[in-house]
Amino acid sequence: MTICVIRIEPIPQTIGAAPAPKEWSPFTEKSIPPELMIPAFANWVTSYFQHGDLSTRDLNVLSYIVPSRKRVPTDYKFTDEEAKEIIFDGPAMVDLGFLSFPLPTFGRRYRKAIFEDDTREFWKNMNVVGVWGDETINQCLATLWNMEKDSEARRGKLVKFEMIPGANHFVSDSADYLEE
């Protein structure tokens, strides 16, 4: 039996990496009033970004704050009712938990789950696939590059990396765009 683990656009903290020096998100921006952080985040995370040459793995080619005008953010496509169902605005938002969890713990669990010999021996037929959109938010692309380095440093190609052209953080919405 083959087991496939798919990681879709994780942020650096989920692999134990510190945020990139220029990393930006509405949750770290002090000028955004607390009551506007969730709507600002929903708009930002569902936007599309035009980055430079991603093959360079250079954080300086990433667009950090201002999304592209090329496409409408995914959250603008929701009706008010859909937004209430889809966008969780409770006090324990999932992404916020990652921001406060100890990085060393996340790092150990990530390395053990994917790279360590005893795990790979136990799960002999485990495939790990990382999926990213090339128009996603900056944090996710920084994580991609960290995971590529980790995979290369640990016996080569233990993780398969897939980049989806024209996709943002909401890959399922982007798939509709790819079919047009």
CB distance 15 to 143 below 8 Å:
yes
Tokens 């650096």 locate to 12
pTM of the prediction?
Answer: 0.81
Q: Could you tell me which residues come within 8 angstroms of residue 140 by beta carbon, excluding any fewer than 6 positions away? A: 9, 10, 11, 132, 133, 169
Q: Could you give the number of structural domains in the chain?
A: 1
pLDDT in tens, 10-19: 888 889 998 8
Q: Which two tokens stand for residue 66?
A: 């201002």
For residue range 132-176, list pLDDT tens digits in order.
999 999 999 999 999 999 998 887 777 888 899 999 887 654 444
What residues have CB less than 8 Å from 74, skipping those under 6 apart?
46, 47, 168, 170, 173
Q: Domain range holding 133?
A: 3-179
